């Protein structure tokens, strides 16, 4: 009998998630049936969406999440033993899954066979060459439609998606301004990612910072965080500016009934004729490989820098998740199982 370790959602999160909301247990896995594969986790992803999404599931479920896993046993002709896949298997070390119909609730309907990354770490399939990378690629280019010379503001700028968006903006010849949560992250954005300007949003006046860095205003805003930071950025948009609403992490731990309501930005949208569009990266699932290939190409050309914050050990996944929500990560937060 094969054993797996997994984290169970013991309590729904209230405010900031606590380690005690998740319970580490051991379970037995069944023998493989036809079309099933046994996968062993190598890398786990911890992502912001897990905070709001997990509360849609009953307590007692395996904590949701994506992982890079090695196929160690297979009764499916498309999945050879030894290959690596990305699967929505949740926070568990081993998984038996029907590869034709894993019963997943996200866009990846089947375990995704990781293509050749030219020797780069397979963990990148959870970051710059995976979901966050495609979020940056499609969510920025398709919605903001940036033009050379335009001013782009990115919030959550030192995270997985934000750091990537800022670099695509530079590749496209834009001027890039990033907002992030520490002076150390600001230095990374300026010195290594070559942002034109970067600010610690916890320590400055956001409106003044934009007025200094971009006196004529902002053409495109890629919004990872929402809240007061975003209201301030939107107040500095040029007429007919474009806003891509990717995430609202500033609100993920909040009681939604206590948040300020939309009218804080609606008069600005009207007066400046702004376009504001939310998206889910799954919209582009039919073009998935295009995003991965382009991002890989930019890495090979030295145009796209990627960074990971790696937590060692499956047992530390809850810590890594809570740390990521607190801003302890630079680049993509992953767990090495
Ligand atoms: N629409 C989609 O399909 C899609 C797909 C992927 C991700 N997303 C969204 O994109 C955003 C970024 O995701 P990611 O995976 O790249 O995560 P990430 O940026 O790597 O990690 C989360 C970061 O959020 C920042 N943060 C935490 N609380 C904050 C607050 N109150 N105000 C401002 N920033 C805060 C922290 O950085 P600081 O130190 O800078 O505060 C933290 O490092 C999230 O909102 C996520 O939900 C959306």
In tens, the pLDDT along 10-39 reads 999 999 999 999 999 999 999 999 999 999
**158 Cα nearest atom in ligand 1:** 40
Ligand 1 center from residue 162 Cα (angstroms): 8
Ligand 1 center from residue 291 Cα (angstroms): 20
Q: Within a 10 A sphere around the Cβ of 210, how many other Cβ atoms?
A: 24
The answer on pLDDT for 333 being more than 80 is yes
Collapsing DSSP to helix, strand or coil, 121 comes out as coil
Q: Within a 10 A sphere around the Cβ of 81, how many other Cβ atoms?
A: 11
Which residues have C-beta within 8 Å of that of residue 35, sequence separation ≥ 6? 75, 76, 98, 99, 100
Give the residue, by CA position, lying nearest to ligand 1 atom 46: 247
| Cα Rg, the chain, nearest whole Å | 20
Query: What is the overall mean pLDDT for the chain?
Result: 96
CA gap 174, 151 in Å, rounded: 6
| Band (119; pLDDT cuts 50, 70, 90) | very high
Q: Return the CATH architecture of domain 2-126+307-336.
A: Alpha-Beta Complex (3.90)
Ligand 1 center from residue 82 Cα (angstroms): 33
Tell me what percent of the chain is helix, strand and coil, each rounded to the nearest 5. 35, 30, 40
Collapsing DSSP to helix, strand or coil, 99 comes out as coil
**202 Cα nearest atom in ligand 1:** 41
Ligand 1 pocket mutation, candidates 137, 138, 168, 247, criterion most atoms within 8 A of CB: 247
Number of H helices, E strands in the chain: 9, 15
Q: With contact defined as beta carbons under 8 Å apart, do 285 and 200 qualify?
A: no
CA gap 320, 82 in Å, rounded: 27
Q: Convert the pLDDT of each residue in 246-262 to its tens digit.
A: 999 999 998 878 877 66
Pocket residues: Cβ below 6 A from ligand 1: 47-49, 132, 135, 156, 158-162, 180-182, 185, 224-225, 246-250, 279-281, 324-325, 327, 329, 333
Ligand 1 center from residue 30 Cα (angstroms): 37
| Average pLDDT for 107-123 | 90
| Average pLDDT for 95-105 | 85
Q: Which of 285, 291, 330, 328 is nearest to 308 (CA)?
A: 330
**246 Cα nearest atom in ligand 1:** 1
Task: For strands 94-98 and 36-45, give the pairing.
Answer: antiparallel
Q: Convert the pLDDT of each residue in 194-210 to its tens digit.
A: 999 999 999 999 999 99
What's the fold here for domain 131-282? Answer: Rossmann fold (3.40.50)
In the numeric block, the tokens 């998935």 are attached to 288
Ligand 1 center from residue 253 Cα (angstroms): 12
**280 Cα nearest atom in ligand 1:** 3
Where do the domains of the chain lie? Answer: 2-126+307-336, 131-282
Residue 263 Rama label (left phi>0; alpha psi -120 to 50; beta): alpha
**CA 312, 315, 317, 319: dihedral to nearest 10 degrees?**
-90
Give 238-278 as a DSSP string.
Answer: EEEEEEEE---GGGTTS-GGGSPPGGGTHHHHHHHT-EEEE
The answer on pLDDT for 61 being more than 90 is yes
Ligand 1 pocket mutation, candidates 249, 260, 306, criterion most atoms within 8 A of CB: 249
| Average pLDDT for 186-196 | 98
Ligand 1 center from residue 92 Cα (angstroms): 23
Give 4-62 as a DSSP string.
Answer: EEEEEE-S---SS--GGGEEEEEEEEPPP-TTEEEEEEEEEE--TTHHHHHTTS-TTSB
């Amino acid at each position: 009998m094969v054993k797996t370790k997994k984290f169970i959602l013991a309590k729904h999160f209230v405010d900031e998630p606590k380690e005690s909301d998740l319970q580490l247990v051991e379970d037995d896995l069944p023998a493989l049936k036809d079309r099933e594969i046994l996968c062993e986790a190598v890398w786990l992803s911890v992502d912001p969406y897990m905070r709001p999404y997990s509360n849609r599931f009953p307590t007692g479920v395996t904590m949701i999440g994506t992982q890079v896993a090695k196929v160690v046993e297979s009764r499916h002709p498309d999945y050879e033993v030894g290959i690596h896949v990305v699967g929505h298997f949740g926070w568990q070390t081993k998984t038996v899954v029907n590869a034709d119909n894993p019963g997943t609730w996200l866009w990846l309907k089947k375990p995704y066979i990781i293509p050749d990354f030219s020797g780069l770490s397979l963990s990148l399939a959870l970051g710059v060459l995976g979901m966050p990378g495609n979020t940056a690629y499609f969510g920025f280019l398709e919605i903001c439609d940036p033009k050379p010379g335009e001013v782009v503001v990115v919030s959550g700028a030192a995270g997985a998606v934000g750091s990537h968006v800022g670099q695509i903006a530079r590749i496209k010849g834009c001027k890039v301004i990033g907002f992030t949560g520490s002076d150390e992250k600001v230095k990374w954005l300026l010195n290594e990612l070559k942002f034109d300007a970067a600010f610690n949003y916890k320590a400055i006046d956001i409106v003044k910072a934009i007025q200094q860095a971009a006196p004529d205003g902002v053409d495109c805003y890629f919004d990872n965080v929402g809240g007061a930071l975003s209201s301030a950025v939107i107040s500095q948009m040029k007429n007919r500016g474009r806003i891509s609403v990717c995430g609202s992490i500033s609100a993920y731990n909040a009681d939604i009934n206590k948040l300020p309501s939309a009218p804080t930005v609606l008069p600005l949208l009207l007066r400046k004729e702004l376009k504001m569009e939310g998206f889910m990266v799954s919209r582009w699932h039919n073009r998935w490989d295009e995003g991965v290939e382009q991002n890989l190409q930019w890495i090979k050309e030295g145009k796209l820098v990627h960074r990971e914050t790696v937590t060692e050990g499956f047992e530390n996944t809850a810590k890594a998740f809570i740390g990521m929500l607190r801003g302890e990560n630079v680049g993509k937060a992953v767990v090495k199982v």
